[in-house]
Structure 1
Amino acid sequence: MATYRIGIDVGGTHTDAVLLNDKNEVISETKASTTEDVATGIYHAMHKIVSHANVPKENIKYAMLGTTHCTNAIVERKRLNQVAVVRIGAPATLAVKPLIGVPNDLRELLGEHVFLVRGGHEFDGREIVELDENHLYEIANELKEKVDSIAITSVFSPVSKAHEERAAEIFQEVLGDSIALSLSSEIGSVGLLERENATILNASVINVAKMAAEGFIDALKNEGIQAKVFFGQNDGTLMSVKYAMKYPIFTVACGPTNSLRGASYLSELSDAIVVDVGGTTSDVGVLVQSFPRESSLAVEIGGARTNFRMPDLVSIGLGGGTIIKIEDEHSFTIGPESVGYRLPEKGLVFGGDTLTTTDVVVALGKSNLGDVKKVSHLDKNLLEKIYVRMVEMVEEAIDRMKTSADPVPVILVGGGSILLPETLKGASHVIRPNHSGVANAIGSAIAQVSGQVEKIFVLDEIGRAAALQSAKEQAIKEAVQAGAEPSSVEIVDIEDVPLAYLPGNATRVRVKAAGDLKYQSEVAIN
């Protein structure tokens, strides 16, 4: 019996959807406009591909969603949970309060219930002071019916998470299983403030993620599809619904990473630079062994610095709907404003009143869209200058992402990739694969499931071989918990960084494991 899977990726302009068979071949694809409520756009896209494919609905076994729900909630400051912030680190961390450096409006929303508790650990796992359990019981009783989500952060919890786990037990004992608990040791890496921010943001979008999952599952049911549901996450892999409910913050950059994974699959290249041209921006990322290269820098989300895993990307204000402003016969500006999903009504070639990058490539005969007569009056010499600058913007972004001067393969994907030529400076060759317009949805559909561990080990106590083995085993366990088939899980990335400033021959080990979907993964939302 042939089986099928649906991949959907929600972008700012388009909601892309694909239906793949069990050989990962594209059976049906579509680009629908993203709607304000997001769910309607998802439903329309899903209905189109299922109707067009005309396959037995009972044979559609999997559905994968890459969504901007959580990102939008943080950026727009809407639909966030009632959060309590608990830092275990007194008296060592009293000088710097939680949510320092976070924008005022976000701090007002998330900083109403902030508590500092005695406890925490040193870098080598020794307790700073004993955990103040009595204080935690007091806090739990004070928070009854005031919050629905708690962010728990302890000093150096990536080394020892004992205090965070004990705090979670106490909150669950007093407040019951319905309270959502986010532990920093499971979310961020070493670096207290950034890890704490990431944990607070995770706690704030639990309800948003639940609504997104319920909406997606309802859309499937309305279409008569009983598929197993997975979410895309930042590193280009999938997680089960249950895992996504616990770690929704890991979904915030899944769109660009889905595009990179889709580009790798469609081009059959494991190492390359990917340029994903959308309606509003172009995202440039790097494939390393078929996965996105991760950023080594702190990443801001909604103005809050965080340090959990995110793809290393450069985004530029150039897309298919980017607005061109002509000041005189010699000068012009490109973006960053865009007509976005309104391109079919605003672009000149479609009868609109706004000059966009799409109009430029149509007028120059580089693409066949809309009505070329509507742009025939434009000055071709000026348009050529605009086009040269558009290409230069992308070439500069590619150059910023390269680690050497050597030419590298460049893969073009996204609906806006029609803007770019077949040759680019710095590229050994340019590939525009079939189905490149929906590479993000394909990346969502074919993605594997991953787990990642980052931890400091004192090698004088454990030894390097035992430290690496321990980290590998934990990463494999994380992948299996996230929904991977145990027999298919492999280690895909290892990083071992000696920490010369810490005694005891300390090293920071980061390991990522990935595997294929587990067939009996959960669908139900608990």
Structure 2
Amino acid sequence: MRIGIDVGGTNTDAVLIDGSTVLAEIKTATTEDVTSGIAAALAALQAAAGHDPASVQGVMIGTTHFINAIIEGRNLAPTAAIRLGLPATEALPPMSGWPARLVTAIKGRGYLCHGGHEIDGRMISRLRRDELERASEDIVAHGVRAIAISSVYSPVNAECELEAAEILRGLLPDVPISVSHQIGRMGLLERENATIINACLSGLATHICRGLADAVSAAGIDAPLFLSQNDGTLMDVEHARRYPVATFASGPTNSMRGAAFLSGLRDCAVVDVGGTTTDVGMLRHGFPHEASTEVSVSGIRTNFRMPDVLSVGIGGGSRVREDPVTVGPDSVGFRLTEDALVFGGRTLTATDIAVAAGIADIGDRSLVRGLDRSLVEAVLARIGADISAVVDRVRTSAQATPVVAVGGGSILVPDDLPGVGAVHRPEHHATANAIGAAIAQVGGEVDRMYSMAPGERERLLDEAKQEAVDKAVAAGAKPDSVQIVDVDEVPLAYLPGNATRIRVKAVGDLVLAD
């Protein structure tokens, strides 16, 4: 048996799964510290379906801890950004373009040092130990507790980052270090930004991972703990501690993976309606389609792996206004059971509209009997039109696109979306996010530049595929279950040597002890 948990802005969902059978599913309110909400969800799951905690083979969690910390600018470690690229890259120092409040929140300090490589692998300049020694002295003097190292074209050649990290670990053994070639992709500033974000979360990641493990242990469960990644696969707690940025989009990806599992559709649009927002994305071979451009995180441009998801402020807790009729984007959030009309509150929400329309049965229906029927119909039409417009933006073809509606608020989605197509609403759709976490696989990815000589294409592709498979197995996948699910090959005509970017993704079933 597995337990899947997904922490949302309004609800924390949990499911108990045995193979492909959902034994129990529950929803609890997300708590301010989140971790106690997970403990409450585990207790509620035990009450819903009594089970022996010893029979649980794994607990999979999708959490909003880390993305919320960046959005709110809290619990972030003082961080130094060391860029290796002199005498180039001086025009824009580290953290250029960051919101001032976040630079202040991490007490950000930037250092420019010699090093880095050209796109063809040639060295720009040699690393200088004396520069790193001076930087380390300044880092100690200013109480910095995390370091982010980025080097020009490190995805092509990571030698400078690795050497600098080794030197700094010798000088500052107690300061965690993040290196950019392990986090971001091509594009120095965006990759550097992603690495700085990862570094400033290092202290919080250690604390949160320990707290999650304690919550699971307190429930009597002695099983491996995994966290969901942005690409719909799992990582163990140690990996999550080192790379907390990999959890940022775990909520939408869990829902999309759950939608694929519940509906049996591998290529479709997924509409996930929660309490605060509606997230819309495309599934490709059963996995979320990844964003091909930079992704903004709280006003910071980054380029690490993120699903191509569009969000609109429509959810069960969205405030409804009458003149003109609008839904959201503001929401009562986890205060739904206090503020909504059906719970005795004074705020008209989308949940009240659903109850008045007879498509939901929560709270006290008598409290919304006085709502004008024309208003109810106008609000539902507005929701359908807004969601349809978002689906139209994410789909990659003008042909009719299957749509799977999931999430607790998916009752608000009409059976047919204007201009899009029929909507599938599978069983257990309300907890698809937690189900997606529970059934998630493990993966391995290769994203690299190759110099492709004539006649070498097939060999290099096979080499990249094998490396991706090996990474998936190393991450805990059953060797005989690993499959290649995505291959991208992009020739770069503006570079010498028949340069080609090859990206390969492999996934497989997680090995769990019986």
Query: Counterpart amino acid of 2:499?
Result: A
Query: Of 332, 341, 352, which aligns to 1:348?
Result: 341
Q: Determine if contact 2:197/2:245 at 8 Å carries over to the other structure.
A: yes
In structure 2, the partner of 1:86 is 82
In structure 1, the partner of 2:488 is 495
In structure 1, the partner of 2:395 is 402
2:156 is equivalent to residue 163 of structure 1: no
Query: Of 511, 515, 525, which aligns to 2:508?
Result: 515
C-alpha distance in structure 2 between counterparts of 1:57 and 1:366, whole Å? 36
Q: Determine if contact 1:15/1:45 at 8 Å carries over to the other structure.
A: yes
Alpha carbons of structure 1 residues 520 and 132: separation in structure 2 relative to 1, 3 Å? farther
C-alpha distance in structure 2 between counterparts of 1:286 and 1:112, whole Å? 36
C-alpha distance in structure 1 between counterparts of 2:248 and 2:100, whole Å? 21
For residues 34-53 of structure 1, what are the structure 2 equivalents within 5 Å?
A: 34-53=30-49
Query: Of 249, 256, 280, which aligns to 1:284?
Result: 280
In structure 2, the partner of 1:11 is 8
Query: Counterpart amino acid of 2:312?
Result: I
2:112 is equivalent to residue 100 of structure 1: no
In structure 2, the partner of 1:378 is 371
In structure 2, the partner of 1:524 is none
Poorly superposed stretches of 4+, deviation over 6 Å: none
In structure 1, the partner of 2:147 is 150
Deviates more, 1:40-49 or 1:373-382: 373-382
C-alpha distance in structure 2 between counterparts of 1:473 and 1:40, whole Å? 42
Secondary structure of the residue aligned to 1:143 is helix
Query: Of 238, 244, 257, which aligns to 2:240?
Result: 244
- For residues 441-472 of structure 1, give each alpha carbon's deviation from its aligned partner in whole angstroms, at most 9, with x where no partner exists: 00001000112221111223993233323332
For residues 220-259 of structure 1, what are the structure 2 equivalents within 5 Å?
A: 220-259=216-255
TM-score normalised by structure 2 residue count: 0.96
For residues 160-239 of structure 1, what are the structure 2 equivalents within 5 Å?
A: 160-176=157-173, 178-239=174-235
C-alpha distance in structure 1 between counterparts of 2:244 and 2:419, whole Å? 37
Query: Counterpart amino acid of 1:376?
Result: R
Query: Of 20, 25, 28, which aligns to 1:24?
Result: 20
Q: Determine if contact 1:11/1:67 at 8 Å carries over to the other structure.
A: yes
Query: Of 302, 311, 315, which aligns to 1:319?
Result: 315
C-alpha distance in structure 2 between counterparts of 1:483 and 1:261, whole Å? 19
Deviates more, 1:368-377 or 1:390-399: 368-377
Deviates more, 1:356-365 or 1:392-401: 356-365
Secondary structure of the residue aligned to 2:512 is coil
Query: Of 122, 127, 130, which aligns to 2:123?
Result: 127
Q: Determine if contact 2:15/2:434 at 8 Å carries over to the other structure.
A: yes
C-alpha distance in structure 1 between counterparts of 2:329 and 2:51, whole Å? 42
C-alpha distance in structure 2 between counterparts of 1:477 and 1:250, whole Å? 20
Query: Counterpart amino acid of 1:198?
Result: A
Secondary structure of the residue aligned to 2:326 is strand
For residues 324-335 of structure 1, what are the structure 2 equivalents within 5 Å?
A: 324-327=320-323, 331-335=324-328
Cα offset, 1:304, TM superposition: 0.7
Query: What is the count of residue pairs matched by the alignment?
Result: 513
In structure 1, the partner of 2:461 is 468
Q: Determine if contact 1:85/1:111 at 8 Å carries over to the other structure.
A: no
Percent identical residues: 49
C-alpha distance in structure 2 between counterparts of 1:304 and 1:93, whole Å? 19
C-alpha distance in structure 1 between counterparts of 2:475 and 2:79, whole Å? 25
Q: Determine if contact 1:168/1:181 at 8 Å carries over to the other structure.
A: yes
Query: Of 110, 114, 134, which aligns to 2:110?
Result: 114
- For residues 45-79 of structure 1, give each alpha carbon's deviation from its aligned partner in whole angstroms, at most 9, with x where no partner exists: 01110232211111112011100111011111111
C-alpha distance in structure 2 between counterparts of 1:311 and 1:11, whole Å? 17
C-alpha distance in structure 2 between counterparts of 1:20 and 1:292, whole Å? 22
Secondary structure of the residue aligned to 1:354 is coil
Secondary structure of the residue aligned to 2:123 is coil
Query: Counterpart amino acid of 1:479?
Result: A
C-alpha distance in structure 1 between counterparts of 2:20 and 2:397, whole Å? 34
- For residues 106-153 of structure 1, give each alpha carbon's deviation from its aligned partner in whole angstroms, at most 9, with x where no partner exists: 123335432111010000111011122332233334434833321110
C-alpha distance in structure 2 between counterparts of 1:175 and 1:38, whole Å? 32
Q: Determine if contact 1:243/1:482 at 8 Å carries over to the other structure.
A: no
TM-score normalised by structure 1 residue count: 0.94
C-alpha distance in structure 2 between counterparts of 1:409 and 1:427, whole Å? 8
Query: Counterpart amino acid of 1:217?
Result: A
Query: Counterpart amino acid of 1:66?
Result: G
Query: Counterpart amino acid of 2:305?
Result: R
Unaligned runs of 5+ in 1: 522-526
Q: Determine if contact 2:12/2:38 at 8 Å carries over to the other structure.
A: yes
Alpha carbons of structure 1 residues 481 and 138: separation in structure 2 relative to 1, 3 Å? farther
- For residues 351-391 of structure 1, give each alpha carbon's deviation from its aligned partner in whole angstroms, at most 9, with x where no partner exists: 22111112112222233333332222222123212221111
Alpha carbons of structure 1 residues 520 and 246: separation in structure 2 relative to 1, 3 Å? farther
Cα offset, 1:478, TM superposition: 3.2
Secondary structure of the residue aligned to 1:415 is coil
